[in-house]
Structure 1
Amino acid sequence: MDTHTNMYNENSSKPHVAFISSPGMGHITPLLEFAFHLVTQHSIQVTFLVITIGSSDAQNNYIKALSPHPDLHIVDLPPANMSGILTDDMTAVAHLSLIVQESIRPLHSMLLRLNRTKVLTAMVIDIFCTPVFEVCKDLSIPIYSYFTASATLLTFSLYLPTLDREVEGEFMDLLEPVKVPGCNPIRIQDLLEQVRDRKIDEYKWYLLHASRLSMAKGIFVNTWDDLEPVPLSAVTHKRLDEYIPTPPVYPIGPLTKQMEVVASEDEKETIGWLDKQPKDSVLFVALGSGGTLTSEQLTELAWGLELSQQHFILVVRKPSDCASSALFSSGCESHDDPRSFLPDGFVERTKGVGLVVSSWAPQVAVLNHPSTGAFLSHCGWNSTLESVLQGVPMIAWPMYAEQRMNATMLSDEVGVAVKMPVVGEAGETVVVGRDEIERVVRMVMEGEEGKKLRTRAKELKESGRATLSPGGSSYETLTRVVESWKLET
Structure 2
Amino acid sequence: MTIPEKIEKPHVAFLPSPGMGHITPLFEFAKRLVIHHGFHVSFFVITTAASAAQNELFRPENLPADFTAVEIPPVENISSLLTDDMKVVTQLGIMVRESLKHLPSLLMKNRPKALIIDLFCTDAFEICEKLSIPVYSFFTASTILMAFSLYLPTLDSEVEGEFVDLPETIQTPGCSPIYPHDILDQVKDRKNEEYNWYLLNVSRLPLAVGIFVNSWDDLEPISLKALRENLFFQNIPLPPVYTIGPLIKQDEVVTEKDAKILAWLDDQPPDSVLFVVFGSGGTLTSEQLTELAWGLEMSQQRFILVARKPSDASASAAFFNVGSDENDPLQYLPEGFVRRTEGRGLVVPSWAPQTLILNHRSTGAFLSHCGWNSTLESVTNGIPIIAWPLYAEQRMNATFLAEEAGVALKFSKNPGEELVDRNEIEKNVRIVMEGEKGKDMRRRAKELKESAKIALNSGGSSYESLCSVVEFWKSQ
User: Structure 2: how far apart are the matches of 1:162 and 1:390?
Assistant: 38
Does structure 1 retain, via aligned residues, the 8 Å contact 2:117–2:136? yes
Which SS does the other structure have where 2:370 is aligned? coil
**What residue number does 1:213 align with?**
205
User: Structure 1: how far apart are the matches of 2:245 and 2:61?
Assistant: 20
1:49 aligns with 2:44: yes
How far off is 1:180 after superposition? 0.6
Q: 2:105 aligns with which of 104, 109, 125?
A: 109
**What residue number does 2:289 align with?**
298
1:72 aligns with 2:101: no
Once the two structures are superposed, the pairs formed by residues 122-141 of structure 1 within 5 Å of their partners are 122-141=114-133
Once the two structures are superposed, the pairs formed by residues 242-391 of structure 1 within 5 Å of their partners are 244-263=236-255, 265-321=256-312, 322-334=314-326, 336-391=327-382
Give the letter aligned to residue 235 of structure 1.
L
User: Structure 2: how far apart are the matches of 1:155 and 1:75?
Assistant: 32
Which SS does the other structure have where 1:106 is aligned? helix
Render the CA deviation track for 1:302-352: whole Å, top value 9, x for unaligned.
Answer: 000000000000011111121000111111141x32111111110111111
Q: 2:17 aligns with which of 6, 22, 38?
A: 22
Judged with a 3 Å threshold, the aligned counterparts in structure 2 of structure 1 residues 239 and 66 are, in CA distance, closer, same or farther, namely farther
Judged with a 3 Å threshold, the aligned counterparts in structure 2 of structure 1 residues 374 and 210 are, in CA distance, closer, same or farther, namely same
Judged with a 3 Å threshold, the aligned counterparts in structure 2 of structure 1 residues 240 and 71 are, in CA distance, closer, same or farther, namely farther
Once the two structures are superposed, the pairs formed by residues 398-409 of structure 1 within 5 Å of their partners are 398-409=389-400
1:36 aligns with 2:31: yes
Give the letter aligned to residue 381 of structure 2.
Q
Q: 1:419 aligns with which of 410, 419, 442?
A: 410
Give the letter aligned to residue 142 of structure 2.
S
Does structure 2 retain, via aligned residues, the 8 Å contact 1:292–1:323? yes
Does structure 1 retain, via aligned residues, the 8 Å contact 2:16–2:23? yes
The CA RMSD measured in Å over matched residues stands at 1.4
How far off is 1:200 after superposition? 0.4
Does structure 2 retain, via aligned residues, the 8 Å contact 1:162–1:243? no
How far off is 1:63 after superposition? 2.5
Does structure 2 retain, via aligned residues, the 8 Å contact 1:159–1:244? no
1:188 aligns with 2:175: no
Once the two structures are superposed, the pairs formed by residues 448-467 of structure 1 within 5 Å of their partners are 448-467=436-455
Give the letter aligned to residue 18 of structure 1.
A
How far off is 1:98 after superposition? 0.8
Give the letter aligned to residue 13 of structure 2.
A
Which SS does the other structure have where 1:240 is aligned? helix
User: Structure 2: how far apart are the matches of 1:327 and 1:422?
Assistant: 24
Give the letter aligned to residue 208 of structure 1.
L
Does structure 2 retain, via aligned residues, the 8 Å contact 1:315–1:360? yes
Which SS does the other structure have where 2:232 is aligned? coil
How far off is 1:390 after superposition? 0.8
User: Structure 2: how far apart are the matches of 1:468 and 1:96?
Assistant: 32
Give the letter aligned to residue 393 of structure 1.
P
Give the letter aligned to residue 55 of structure 1.
A
Give the letter aligned to residue 20 of structure 1.
L
User: Structure 2: how far apart are the matches of 1:65 and 1:222?
Assistant: 26
How far off is 1:240 after superposition? 2.8
Render the CA deviation track for 1:131-186: whole Å, top value 9, x for unaligned.
Answer: 11111011010100000000000101111111101111110111111101000000
How far off is 1:243 after superposition? 5.7
Give the letter aligned to residue 205 of structure 1.
W
How far off is 1:238 after superposition? 4.2
User: Structure 2: how far apart are the matches of 1:213 and 1:418?
Assistant: 32
User: Structure 2: how far apart are the matches of 1:249 and 1:196?
Assistant: 27
Render the CA deviation track for 1:161-218: whole Å, top value 9, x for unaligned.
Answer: 1110111111011111110100000011100000000000110100000000011111
Give the letter aligned to residue 449 of structure 1.
K
Render the CA deviation track for 1:261-295: whole Å, top value 9, x for unaligned.
Answer: 111x3222211111111111000000000100011
Unaligned 5+ residue runs, structure 1?
1-9
Which SS does the other structure have where 2:339 is aligned? helix
User: Structure 2: how far apart are the matches of 1:285 and 1:76?
Assistant: 34
How far off is 1:83 after superposition? 3.4
Does structure 2 retain, via aligned residues, the 8 Å contact 1:397–1:422? no
Which SS does the other structure have where 1:315 is aligned? strand
Which SS does the other structure have where 2:231 is aligned? coil
Identity %: 60
User: Structure 2: how far apart are the matches of 1:151 and 1:245?
Assistant: 17
Does structure 2 retain, via aligned residues, the 8 Å contact 1:130–1:212? yes
1:475 aligns with 2:463: yes
User: Structure 2: how far apart are the matches of 1:243 and 1:378?
Assistant: 35
User: Structure 2: how far apart are the matches of 1:471 and 1:238?
Assistant: 26
**What residue number does 2:433 align with?**
445
Which SS does the other structure have where 2:98 is aligned? helix
Does structure 1 retain, via aligned residues, the 8 Å contact 2:329–2:349? yes
User: Structure 2: how far apart are the matches of 1:463 and 1:146?
Assistant: 22
How far off is 1:13 after superposition? 3.9
Which SS does the other structure have where 2:437 is aligned? helix
How far off is 1:244 after superposition? 2.7
1:96 aligns with 2:92: yes
How far off is 1:222 after superposition? 0.2
Judged with a 3 Å threshold, the aligned counterparts in structure 2 of structure 1 residues 384 and 477 are, in CA distance, closer, same or farther, namely same
Does structure 1 retain, via aligned residues, the 8 Å contact 2:389–2:395? yes
Report how many aligned residue pairs link the two structures: 470
39-48 vs 18-27, greater mean Cα deviation: 39-48
User: Structure 1: how far apart are the matches of 2:61 and 2:122?
Assistant: 26
Judged with a 3 Å threshold, the aligned counterparts in structure 2 of structure 1 residues 298 and 243 are, in CA distance, closer, same or farther, namely farther
Render the CA deviation track for 1:7-42: whole Å, top value 9, x for unaligned.
Answer: xxx964432111011111101000000000111122
Which SS does the other structure have where 1:186 is aligned? coil
Does structure 2 retain, via aligned residues, the 8 Å contact 1:331–1:359? yes
Does structure 2 retain, via aligned residues, the 8 Å contact 1:65–1:261? no
Does structure 1 retain, via aligned residues, the 8 Å contact 2:175–2:223? yes
Give the letter aligned to residue 316 of structure 1.
A
User: Structure 1: how far apart are the matches of 2:398 and 2:430?
Assistant: 19
Give the letter aligned to residue 53 of structure 1.
T
Which SS does the other structure have where 1:355 is aligned? strand
User: Structure 2: how far apart are the matches of 1:269 and 1:420?
Assistant: 32
**What residue number does 2:222 align with?**
230
User: Structure 2: how far apart are the matches of 1:320 and 1:196?
Assistant: 22
